[in-house]
């Protein structure tokens, strides 16, 4: 019965295929509504069980959001969003839930409504829900921007003070982030209050308006931003710390295995070699070569151990290079904590095998009752096993380093290869 939902005739007409696309879209919305109901029920059952077990109010629900995210094969940081979305729809916004269930709203558009109404009291939120979604037919044809704008408009009318307060609190979230872009480029995002952000952009535009050379306006603005932040012109080699992981054979030009640039990801061998050459040629940049050894089969770094309870600086760096990002399945967050998989209080050793790179949220989540994390090394692969309070098991394997295809002897070592080149500002 379930499989028949996704059967289709390859000889169907275009009209019939269009109808199927619409039906599948409505099915996705209905599934999202059912998922929200189940999530809210799960949270209620967990809360009841923890009350019955006498768990303190402040500790109740700890780790549940991460469980929800893992069940959805999503990053744990998204768990609170999924849980909040479900609770809001089920307990406070029945009309929005109904619109989602009948396919008028997509899950993303329902999320926009929940997000924009988050600052309202329960009473005001229910009024927004009724005004915006009690008649689902009027939502037909609305795009993301229209749904978001209408939710914002009603929110501001119901409680302008709450909107102002939320805006004031949002300033505390100002930050700078990066994410990879195609062709060895990177997006640098600066989240600022609107006045500061517009002022920054205007300053860069003024620089472009008064510069006349072969560069485009966009190039001038980008180069100006880099120069004003770093104090160096864009044509000079980088003067900030970079961790570039590459095989010695790539460094010597014997193969074209990609390298790994910390904070970015894989980069072509030619680009990595150019980066090393630029760093060596610049007198103001210190270039050092550090030997780290990898397993000849898996390509992962070999273990290190320490008698210290806290991870020493070298071992912490080792774990960070090995794991790259948080080791919780589906999590892409940067590593903030170097954690003992088996806690020190339970006899866990301060070692590379027992060590894990985790983000702050995931580290705290695994400390909740019912969570178990164990690590092992099999055939040179560092494996971590996460078992949740509902007895679901998830696995995480450390990524291999560049140059893992060890089909011939390394030019430097018979059994292992040099894997790390680190550039540091002088």
3-class secondary structure for 89-126? HHHCCHHHHHHHHCCCCCHHHHHHHHHHCCCCCHHHHH
Residue 293: CA count within 13 A, CB half-sphere: 10
The residue-averaged pLDDT of 97-116 equals: 96
Query: What per-residue confidence (pLDDT) applies to 320?
Result: 86
Give the torsion sign (CA, 301, 302, 306, 310). positive
8 A C-beta contact, residue 97 and residue 36: yes
Residue 203: CA count within 13 A, CB half-sphere: 10
pLDDT in tens, 375-413: 998 877 899 999 999 999 999 998 876 654 444 444 444
Which of 113-127, 158-172, 177-191, 239-253 is modeled with the greatest confidence? 113-127
Using CA atoms, how far apart are residues 28 and 34, in angstroms rounded to an integer? 10
8 A C-beta contact, residue 359 and residue 425: no
Query: What per-residue confidence (pLDDT) applies to 50?
Result: 93
Least confident of 24-28, 232-236, 350-354: 232-236
Task: Look at residue 266 and tell me whether its pLDDT is greater than 80.
Answer: no
Query: What per-residue confidence (pLDDT) applies to 159?
Result: 93
Q: Is 324 left (phi over 0), alpha (psi -120 to 50) or beta?
A: left
Long-range contacts from 78-82, C-beta under 8 angstroms, 24+ separation: 81/111, 82/39
Whole-prediction pTM:
0.69
Pick the closest to residue 154 from 104, 146, 103, 97 (CA basis).
146
Length of the chain measured in residues? 426
Residue bearing tokens 């940067």: 334
8 A C-beta contact, residue 248 and residue 410: yes
pLDDT in tens, 132-162: 999 999 998 999 999 999 999 999 999 999 9
Q: Greater confidence, 320 or 38?
A: 38
8 A C-beta contact, residue 63 and residue 365: yes
């Amino acid at each position: 019965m379930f499989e028949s939902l996704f059967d289709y005739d390859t000889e169907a007409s275009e009209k019939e295929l269009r109808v199927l696309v619409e039906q599948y879209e409505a099915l996705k919305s209905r599934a999202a509504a059912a998922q929200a109901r189940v999530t809210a029920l799960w949270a209620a059952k967990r809360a009841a069980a923890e009350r019955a077990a006498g768990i303190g109010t402040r500790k109740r629900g700890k780790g549940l959001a991460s469980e929800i995210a893992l069940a959805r094969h999503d990053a744990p940081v998204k768990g609170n969003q999924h849980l909040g979305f479900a609770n809001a729809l089920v307990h406070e916004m029945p009309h929005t839930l109904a619109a989602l269930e009948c396919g008028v709203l997509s899950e993303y558009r329902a999320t926009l409504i929940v997000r924009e109404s988050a600052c309202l009291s329960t009473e005001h939120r229910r009024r927004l829900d009724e005004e915006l979604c009690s008649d689902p037919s009027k939502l037909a044809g609305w795009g993301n921007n229209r749904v978001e704008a209408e939710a914002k408009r009603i929110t501001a009318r119901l409680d302008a003070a709450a909107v102002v307060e939320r805006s004031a609190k949002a300033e505390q979230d100002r930050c700078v982030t990066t994410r990879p872009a195609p062709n060895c480029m990177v997006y640098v995002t600066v989240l600022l209050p609107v006045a500061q952000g517009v002022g920054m952009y205007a300053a860069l535009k003024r620089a472009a308006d008064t510069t006349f050379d072969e560069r485009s306006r966009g190039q001038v603005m980008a180069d100006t931003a880099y120069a004003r932040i770093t104090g160096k012109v864009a044509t000079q080699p980088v003067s900030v710390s970079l961790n570039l992981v590459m095989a010695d054979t790539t460094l010597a030009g014997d193969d074209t295995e990609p390298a790994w640039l910390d904070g970015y990801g894989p980069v072509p061998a030619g680009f990595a070699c150019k980066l090393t050459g630029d760093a060596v040629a610049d007198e103001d940049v210190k270039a050092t070569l550090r030997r780290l050894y990898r397993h000849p089969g898996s390509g992962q770094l070999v273990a290190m151990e320490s008698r210290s309870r806290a991870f020493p600086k070298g071992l912490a760096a080792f774990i960070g290079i090995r794991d790259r990002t948080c080791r919780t399945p589906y999590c892409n967050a940067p590593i903030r904590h170097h954690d003992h998989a088996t806690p020190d209080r339970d006899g866990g050793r301060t070692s590379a095998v027992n060590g894990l790179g985790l983000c702050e949220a995931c580290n705290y989540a695994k400390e909740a009752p019912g969570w178990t994390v164990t690590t092992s090394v099999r055939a040179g692969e560092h494996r971590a096993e996460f078992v949740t309070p509902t007895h679901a098991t998830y696995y995480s394997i450390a990524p291999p380093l560049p140059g893992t295809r060890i089909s011939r002897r390394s030019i430097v070592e018979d059994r292992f290869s040099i894997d790390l080149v680190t550039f540091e500002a002088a």
